[in-house]
């Protein structure tokens, strides 16, 4: 029979409870049970006036709105507000009823500009949720995985200008200078002169395209330049392989072997991973780390030295030698540590000549010998027939990390990257809208990264606690049962194994069975059958095996 007039209930009026409209297993219910949101009041208390002005919007609701956006990967705040208007679960999570007006989509942005800008509020929220995960002993920081991913910036790739390329000072620059001069002094050479700082300040961000701004009149001839977006100057021009060239941000992230996010930093997309590693390491270095797993982009002497000095094992991958095909690889030249020289495949010696500003010691061969060497075509293309090999003054730390790579079991640990940090980035981009950002500026990008990673940790915590709660309900009867048996058999003075107390035993046994029945009624998933005579007999048998105790007072 065909059903007609299915829309006749559109104008029906009825009374209902908001709590009944949200399914019991909804993700927002699990998240709401997993954490007490009142901690936000303490974080934002100094951002509001205590005794003046009109009442503000609840700060907890204000933070929960972007949580919903990042949790469900909604593309914009405007669309998020539209979803909240029609979604009962979202309204329940925010504490709104069906008739309460939903905030305007610009509300969060205005509050961010007036109250939360230039603060570490969102990083504190991320840290608080991570602490909750640690309280349940879910995080294992013994092995930390570090990598970076790129998020497309809100910038048109055709609207750009050129500016003078400027790089921040290396985080290990002072220590490197000191050791370079010590090494040169040990070899009888003068310390390096201070390099003149002739770098110009990059032009300020402004309008105009590549043809309108950044002309030869503004940039000195021969100066090294880089592309800068006129929409978002703090982003960086990113290109990798055959990917489309875009302006992007680099999000450097650390996680443990279970996929819990431990820390993050945000940088322009054109900065190398080895330069941006130190700020992230400073955030997580106080964790009880035993090893750090990194990809080939971090395989530098400075990073290996920093980790080994702190007692942390760096785990790098194998990196193919960057040598021309048909030529000897660097490992075919043997380094003699005692005489501080290299020996080539023809058994000739390459002696030390100098240590350059980059921290590399240069070893060169004897031209007169190399000129008639049969391996010259495989060794060097130098017109002067001179072979040069460079060795970093911290090269021994890289050699130690190579020994760690060969340690039994470390290869399997490195293979976990695809199940931890790489899966984490994939989930963030596929499910939480992390492929691109609609925010402009590094500060807003840090906010997006902090809330997104906080959502991912909180989502995982909520699922685990929900599973634990269901398991506790199933095992609750057995816990109370054995607790009662222990109390009755060993601790209560009225209970002892004697004929006079058999009545008390039967009464207590019936009480325990009643407890089991109540648990079965409250949790249908516990088992599919009611208490049986067989189970009662099994419990009697268990009770008879309790060691006999003397009657109290005898």
Q: What gap in Å lies between CA 532 and CA 17, rounded to an integer?
A: 39
Model confidence band, residue 396 (pLDDT cutoffs 50, 70, 90): very high
Which residues share a beta bridge with 291?
A: 143, 313
Asked if pLDDT for residue 294 goes beyond 50, the answer is yes
Confidence band for 2, pLDDT divided at 50, 70 and 90: confident
Phi, psi dihedral angles at 271 (to 5 degrees): -90, 140
Separation between Cα atoms, residue 95 and residue 360, nearest integer Å: 62
Contact yes or no for 334/342 (Cβ under 8 A): yes
- Kindly tell me if the per-residue pLDDT of 284 is higher than 90: yes
Expressed in percent and rounded to 5, the helix, strand and coil fractions of the chain are: 45, 15, 45
pLDDT score for 212: 40
* Run of H or E including 85: helix 77-86
What is the CB neighbour count within 10 angstroms for residue 402?
14
Average pLDDT, the chain: 82
pLDDT at position 489:
54
What sign does the CA torsion over 489, 490, 495, 496 have? positive
pLDDT at 68: 95
pLDDT at 261 over 70: yes
pLDDT digits (tens, 9 = 90+) for 87-141: 999 999 999 988 889 999 898 888 888 888 888 899 999 999 999 999 999 999 9
**CA 461/CA 453 separation, integer angstroms:** 12
Question: Is residue 198 scored above 50 in pLDDT?
Answer: no
Residue scoring higher pLDDT (321 or 254) = 254
- pLDDT of 199 > 60? The answer is no
pLDDT in tens, 139-159: 999 999 999 999 999 998 888
Can you tell me the mean pLDDT for 16-35? 90
DSSP letter for 270, please: T
Of 203 and 30, the one with more pLDDT = 30
pLDDT score at 242: 67
What does the pLDDT read at residue 468? Answer: 85
What is the average pLDDT across 340-368? 93
What confidence category does residue 519 fall into, taking pLDDT thresholds of 50, 70 and 90?
very low
Cα 105 to Cα 536: distance, rounded to the nearest angstrom: 62
3-class DSSP state of 495: coil
Print the SS3 string covering 153-196.
CCCCCCCEEEEECCCCCCCCHHHHHHHHHHHHHHCCCCCCCCCC
Tens digits of per-residue pLDDT, 415-443? 999 999 999 999 999 999 999 999 999 99
Report residue 538 as tokens.
């099994």
- Tell me the mean pLDDT in the region 230-240: 89
Query: pLDDT over 70 for what percent of the chain?
Result: 79
What pLDDT sits at residue 520? 46
In the numeric block, which tokens belong to residue 255?
Answer: 């996680």
Residue with tokens 């000739």: 348
Instruction: Tell me what the mean pLDDT of segment 236-244 comes to.
Output: 78
Crossing angle of the two packed helices 395-405 and 301-309, in degrees rounded to 10: 70
3-state secondary structure of 486: helix
What is the C-alpha to C-alpha distance for residues 538 and 278, in angstroms, rounded to an integer? 63
Reference 145, options 266, 268, 249, 284; nearest CA is 284
Is pLDDT at 201 greater than 60 in this prediction?
no
pLDDT tens profile 474-491 = 665 555 655 566 555 544
Q: Which of 103-112, 364-373, 389-398, 542-551 has the lowest mean pLDDT?
A: 542-551
Look up residue 221 and give its DSSP letter: T
Q: How confident is the model at residue 403, as a pLDDT?
A: 94
Confidence tier at 460 by pLDDT (50, 70, 90):
very high
Tokens matching residue 500? 């006079």
| Strand partners for 160 | 229
CB 419 within 8 Å of CB 405: no
Instruction: With a cut of 80, say whether residue 4 has pLDDT above it.
Output: no
Q: Are 300 and 278 in contact (CB under 8 A)?
A: no
Among the residue ranges 7-21, 251-265, 516-530, the one predicted with the least confidence is: 516-530
Lowest-pLDDT range of 5-19, 38-52, 113-127, 308-322: 5-19
- Burial group, residue 357, by CB count within 10 angstroms (0-12, 13-18, 19+): exposed
What is the distance between the alpha carbons of residues 312 and 310, in angstroms, rounded to a whole number?
6
Does 244 have pLDDT greater than 80? no
The stretch 446-461 carries a mean pLDDT of: 95
Q: Is residue 242 a contact partner of residue 210, using CB atoms and an 8 Å limit? A: no
Give DSSP secondary structure letters for 233-254: TTSEEE--TTSPPEEEEEEEEE
Length in residues, the chain: 554
Q: Can you tell me the distance from the alpha carbon of 67 to that of 455, in angstroms, rounded to the nearest whole number?
A: 7
- Whether residue 193 is predicted with pLDDT greater than 90 in this model: the reply is no
Provide the token pair at 323. Answer: 């040598």
- Report which secondary-structure segment, H or E, holds 147: strand 143-152
Q: What is the pLDDT, as a whole number, of residue 253?
A: 96
pLDDT score for 471? 73
With 90 as the cut, is the pLDDT of residue 162 above it?
no
Quickly state the pLDDT bin for 344 (edges 50, 70, 90). very high
Report CA-CA distances (Å) from 472 to 10, 214, 217, 442, 484: 42, 66, 73, 45, 17
Q: Nearest-CA neighbor of 421 among 269, 243, 280?
A: 280
Other Cβ atoms within 10 Å of 411 Cβ, number: 13
Please report the pLDDT score of residue 245 as a whole number: 87
DSSP assignment letter at 436 = B
pLDDT at 166: 73
Residue 529 sits at the vertex; the CA angle it makes with 524 and 531, to the nearest 5 degrees, is 105
pLDDT on residue 217: 46
- The residue that leads in pLDDT, 196 or 454, is 454
Coil, strand or helix: which one is 427?
Answer: helix
Per cent of the chain over pLDDT 90 is 55
Q: Which residue has the higher pLDDT, 200 or 346?
A: 346
pLDDT of residue 79 exceeding 80:
yes
pLDDT of 312 strictly over 80: yes
> Is the pLDDT score of 498 beyond 50?
no
Record the tokens describing residue 514, joined without a space: 């009643």
Identify which has the larger pLDDT, 16 or 390.
Answer: 390
Per-residue DSSP letter, 361: E
């Amino acid at each position: 029979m065909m059903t007609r007039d299915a829309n006749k209930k559109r104008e029906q009026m009825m009374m209902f409870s908001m709590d009944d409209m949200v399914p019991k297993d909804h993700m927002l219910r699990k998240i709401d049970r997993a954490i007490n949101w009142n901690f936000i009041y303490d974080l934002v208390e100094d951002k509001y006036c205590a005794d003046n002005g009109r009442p503000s919007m609840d700060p907890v609701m204000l933070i929960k709105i972007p949580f919903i956006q990042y949790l469900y990967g909604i593309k914009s705040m405007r669309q998020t507000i539209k979803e909240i208007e029609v979604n009962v679960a979202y309204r329940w999570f925010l504490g709104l009823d069906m008739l309460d007006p939903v905030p305007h989509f610009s509300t969060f942005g205005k509050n961010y500009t007036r109250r939360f800008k230039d603060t570490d509020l969102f990083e504190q929220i991320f840290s608080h949720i991570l602490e909750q995960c640690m309280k349940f002993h879910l995080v294992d920081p013994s092995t930390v995985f570090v990598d970076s991913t790129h998020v497309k910036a809100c910038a048109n790739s055709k609207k750009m200008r050129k500016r003078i390329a400027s790089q921040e000072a290396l985080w290990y620059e002072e220590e490197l200078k000191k050791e370079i001069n010590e090494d040169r002094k040990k070899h009888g050479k003068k310390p390096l002169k201070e390099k003149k700082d002739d770098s110009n300040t990059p032009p300020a961000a402004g309008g105009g395209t590549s043809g309108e701004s950044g002309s030869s009149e503004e940039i000195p001839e021969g100066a090294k330049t880089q592309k800068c977006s006129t929409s978002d100057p703090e982003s960086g021009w990113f290109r990798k392989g055959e990917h489309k060239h875009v302006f992007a941000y680099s999000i450097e992230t650390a996680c443990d072997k279970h996929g819990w996010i431990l820390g993050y930093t945000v940088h322009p997309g054109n900065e190398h991973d080895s330069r941006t590693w130190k700020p992230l390491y400073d955030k997580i270095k106080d964790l009880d780390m035993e090893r750090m797993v990194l990809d080939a982009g971090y395989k530098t002497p400075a990073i290996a030295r920093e980790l080994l000095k702190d007692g942390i094992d760096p785990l790098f991958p194998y990196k193919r030698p960057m040598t021309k095909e048909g030529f000897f690889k660097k490992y075919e030249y043997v380094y003699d540590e005692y005489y501080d020289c290299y020996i080539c495949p023809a058994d000739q010696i390459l002696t030390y000549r100098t240590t350059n500003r980059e921290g590399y010691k240069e070893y060169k061969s004897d031209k007169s010998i190399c000129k008639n060497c049969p391996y010259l075509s495989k060794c060097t293309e130098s017109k002067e027939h001179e072979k040069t090999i460079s060795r970093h003054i911290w090269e021994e730390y890289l050699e130690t990390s190579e020994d760690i790579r060969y340690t039994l079991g470390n290869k399997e640990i490195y293979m976990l990257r695809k199940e931890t940090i790489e899966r984490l980035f994939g989930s963030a981009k596929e499910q939480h809208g992390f492929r691109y950002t609609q925010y402009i500026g590094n500060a807003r990008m840090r906010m997006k990264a902090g809330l997104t990673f906080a959502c991912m940790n909180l989502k995982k915590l909520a699922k685990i606690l929900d599973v634990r709660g269901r398991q506790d309900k199933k095992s609750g009867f057995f816990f109370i049962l054995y607790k009662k048996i222990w109390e009755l058999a060993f601790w209560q003075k009225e209970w002892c194994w004697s004929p006079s107390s058999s009545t008390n035993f039967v009464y207590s046994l019936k009480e325990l069975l009643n407890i089991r029945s109540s648990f079965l009624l409250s949790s249908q998933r516990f088992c599919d059958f009611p208490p049986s005579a067989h189970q009662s007999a099994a419990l009697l048998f268990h009770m008879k095996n309790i060691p006999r105790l003397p009657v109290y007072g005898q």
